[in-house]
Structure 1
Amino acid sequence: MALLRRQKKLKFVHRTFYMGKGVRVSGDLRAGRYAYIGPHSIIYPKVTIGDYTMLANDVSIIGGDHDYLKAGVPIIFAGRGLLSPTNIGKDVWIGAHVKIKAGISIGDGAVIAMGSIVTKDVEPYSVYAGVPARKLKDRFDDHKDLNKHRAMLENSHDQNAFDFEMLCK
């Protein structure tokens, strides 16, 4: 598995995708509009990152576990299992130093707290934290806010849907 260090070699990312210094990603990374990967992150193959999703610094999406059940064969020579796809939805925020097991699905709008270890799928619009990561609460308490937010994401295909200069002030 070759991990790339240069964004120029990535064929399946949107032109607005950005990654920080020292990031290593697989060449098959798929990333949507305004997706961001923070410095020193490591992203294994078969990962899809949705629109408007942020991964903070030192996030790792890792997997391909070694086959440790072969009797009489040292683990280093036993080979690796198949790597399952990892899907991270739209508008997700993953905090610094989070570790994500390959094959996990993280739903749209989810938030993963700093330092968490994600070993199971994450529900949409939920906040998770801990080792292992567990659901703390829903991101929105009010269904009206959730529906408004979902509608905004669905209509965001329009380049003028957001005033990014205003949002960055």
Structure 2
Amino acid sequence: MIGYSSKLEGLNKFGEKSIFIGSKIGYASYISKNTNLQNVNIGRYCSIGPNVITIHGTHPAKVFVSTHPSFFSTDFTPSYTREQLFEEKPAPLNSKEPYTTLIGNDVWIGASVNIIEGVKLGDGCIVAAGSLVNKDVEPYSIVGGVPAKHIRYRFEPNEINFLMDFKWWNKPIEWIKENSYCFTNIKSFIDSQSLKKENK
């Protein structure tokens, strides 16, 4: 099911029984079966596995006697409050767009990952299968577990800096086709692009 307000940049794939509502998905990114994403801004060339969901809303865990929304939310029935006493949902990440969760470019999310609304997954990161992501994930890092914790970075710091500055996912399709041969090795990729820059 794809919501009417969703935006698709092109060449996207959606697995069976997947739900995509109020969200945006970048070029060539895909989501697998039984995945449910709402209010998410997804970058280009992302690979999202099956049974991935975004979890919406939160409850107070400190000070409040009860976690039940009838004591803090005016949107719930029954409600015992005349004003909203606890923010259940995060504000949109960008005041000009409605999205509350960000998945960067070239992100790989494994099967059965739960993502808490409001987090940002940086470009090039990997989230291990079965993880619970409850905080921002750094670019080109690998995280896993419940809750998800940093395991390691995919590349060396200078290589990550190069990729973050280069932003290959924004290049024209023809450029990507012509240079796809060097995507199999980060060092070869950087060397080839640096050499081309020097020869200009």
Give CA-to-partner distance per residue, 1:146-168, whole Å, 9 cap, x none.
3454455346431113339x78x
Per the TM alignment, residue 82 of structure 1 is displaced from its structure 2 partner at its CA by 2.8
Alignment-mate amino acid for residue 116 of structure 1:
S
Aligned to 1:122: 137
Task: Find the structure with the greater CA-based Rg.
Answer: 2
Aligned to 1:162: 176
Tell me which of 89, 98, 101 is aligned to 1:82.
89
Give CA-to-partner distance per residue, 1:81-132, whole Å, 9 cap, x none.
2354000101100001100001111111110001100011111110001110
User: 1:69/1:128 Cα in 2 relative to 1: closer, same or farther (>3 Å)?
Assistant: same
Aligned to 2:57: 64
1:17-28 superposed matches below 5 A: 17-26=12-21, 28=22
Aligned to 1:146: 160
Alignment-mate amino acid for residue 101 of structure 1:
I
**Structure with the bigger percentage of helix:** 2
Aligned-partner Cα distance in 2 for 1:72–1:161? 53
Alignment-mate amino acid for residue 172 of structure 2:
D
**What is the TM-score when the length of structure 1 is the normalising length?**
0.78
Q: CA RMSD in A?
A: 2.9
* Contact 2:49 2:109 (C-alpha < 8 Å) held by counterparts: yes
Alignment-mate amino acid for residue 159 of structure 1:
I
Aligned-partner Cα distance in 2 for 1:160–1:138? 29
User: 1:155/1:14 Cα in 2 relative to 1: closer, same or farther (>3 Å)?
Assistant: closer
User: 1:91/1:81 Cα in 2 relative to 1: closer, same or farther (>3 Å)?
Assistant: same
Give CA-to-partner distance per residue, 1:23-67, whole Å, 9 cap, x none.
0111x21111111111110112x2100011111111111212356
Aligned-partner Cα distance in 2 for 1:10–1:51? 19
User: 1:19/1:122 Cα in 2 relative to 1: closer, same or farther (>3 Å)?
Assistant: same
Aligned-partner Cα distance in 2 for 1:81–1:33? 32
Alignment-mate amino acid for residue 16 of structure 2:
K
1:70-109 superposed matches below 5 A: 70-71=70-71, 77-78=78-79, 81-84=88-91, 85-109=100-124
- Percent identity reads 29
Unpaired runs of at least 5, structure 2: 60-66, 92-99, 182-200
**What is the TM-score when the length of structure 2 is the normalising length?**
0.67
Alignment-mate amino acid for residue 105 of structure 1:
K
